[in-house]
Structure 1
Amino acid sequence: MIKRFSLFGLLILMGCATNSSITTSFPVEIANAFFVTHENQTTFTIEFQQKLPSHIKLEKLYFKNQEAVLIQNSPQSVSATFEKPDLILDSNPKNEYGNQPAIHFEPFYKLKDTEALMEYFKNGKIKRFKITNVMEKSNK
């Protein structure tokens, strides 16, 4: 009985581990990946060489210890917006009432400042792809 339970638990853990792995290629070539920061908001844009196939559903983007939902801008472009809360800073602590604490996101993969992790579904299975050499563009 214990052996069956141990084997079952091991199989579940192995299945979870394979779901969280990073794929080495994405079905559509990425033409450009960049971000623009303006005040308390960062917009990350991914442009593809061609239209995404219907069996690919983009979900989230992880960037600089933050997480955001990917939004389709066009058949070949998606973006994610990361916002930092506007804080009231005052010498009188009563005036700071209403400030929300920062939401700390603990990344499950270590990423450099020039890397992002895109999460997507392919044929109903969750996949992750690391985007490298991300460039910052001027907001002017």
Structure 2
Amino acid sequence: MKNVIHLMAGIFILTVFASCGSNKDLQERAPAQFNEVFYTYNSDGIQLNIPVAVIQDERITMDAVYFHGMKSPLKKSEEKPNLYVANFRMGSGDMVMDEDPKKEYGNKPPQLPEESPFSIDEDEAILVFTQNDKMRYYKLTGIVEKE
């Protein structure tokens, strides 16, 4: 009887901890009004561009994005104030290879893959943002490639 009580208590505690860790839900409502989201390939890898039409800067912070099996922080463009950019290094740029390791110092390694907390298609991304001090997720769809 005592073992059954210990087993039930253990299962209860595991259930509580498991439900806390899986409290990641996609938001139905967009944190901002987005224009057409697109990506381009450059010498370093992929650049994802998220143009924002309207956002409440005082309540929402755009943090990161999952795209094509990688995660990258979002940065506000200096040239265009309503554009957020994420860069994903693919390791395809020119690398210096030399006997002297000091000459290879500037080489950037490719970005490591990082799985998205949600399943997404090739034309989708998961936007990670903070709203009222809580981390939230939103799925961006219909992302197109531009040249």
Shorter-chain-normalised TM-score: which range?
A: 0.7 to 0.9
User: In structure 2, how many angstroms separate the alpha carbons of the residues matched to 1:11 and 1:35?
Assistant: 40
Indicate conservation of the 8 Å contact 1:33/1:135, yes or no: yes
Match of 2:26 in 1: 22
1:6-50 per-residue CA deviation (whole Å, 9 max, x = no partner) reads 4333223212222x2211121321122111112332111111121
User: In structure 2, how many angstroms separate the alpha carbons of the residues matched to 1:52 and 1:70?
Assistant: 16
SS of equivalent to 1:78: strand
User: In structure 1, how many angstroms separate the alpha carbons of the residues matched to 2:93 and 2:85?
Assistant: 25
Let me know the Cα RMSD of the aligned residues.
2.7
1:37-78 per-residue CA deviation (whole Å, 9 max, x = no partner) reads 123321111111213331211111111101110001254221
Identity across the alignment (%): 16
User: In structure 2, how many angstroms separate the alpha carbons of the residues matched to 1:87 and 1:46?
Assistant: 24
TM-score after normalising by structure 1: 0.77
Matches within 5 A, 1:1-140: 2=6, 3-18=8-23, 20-73=24-77, 74-86=80-92, 103-138=112-147
SS of equivalent to 1:22: coil
User: In structure 2, how many angstroms separate the alpha carbons of the residues matched to 1:122 and 1:102?
Assistant: 27
User: In structure 1, how many angstroms separate the alpha carbons of the residues matched to 2:125 and 2:116?
Assistant: 11
User: In structure 1, how many angstroms separate the alpha carbons of the residues matched to 2:113 and 2:54?
Assistant: 35
TM-score after normalising by structure 2: 0.74
1:87-140 per-residue CA deviation (whole Å, 9 max, x = no partner) reads 789xxxx98x989677233333221111011111111111110000001111xx
Q: Quick check: which has more Rg, 1 or 2?
A: 2
Q: Is the alpha carbon distance of 1:135 and 1:72 closer, same or farther for their aligned partners in structure 2, counting shifts above 3 Å?
A: same
Structure 2 alignment gaps of length 5 or more: none
Higher share in strand: 1
Structure 1 alignment gaps of length 5 or more: none
Amino acid at match of 2:125: A
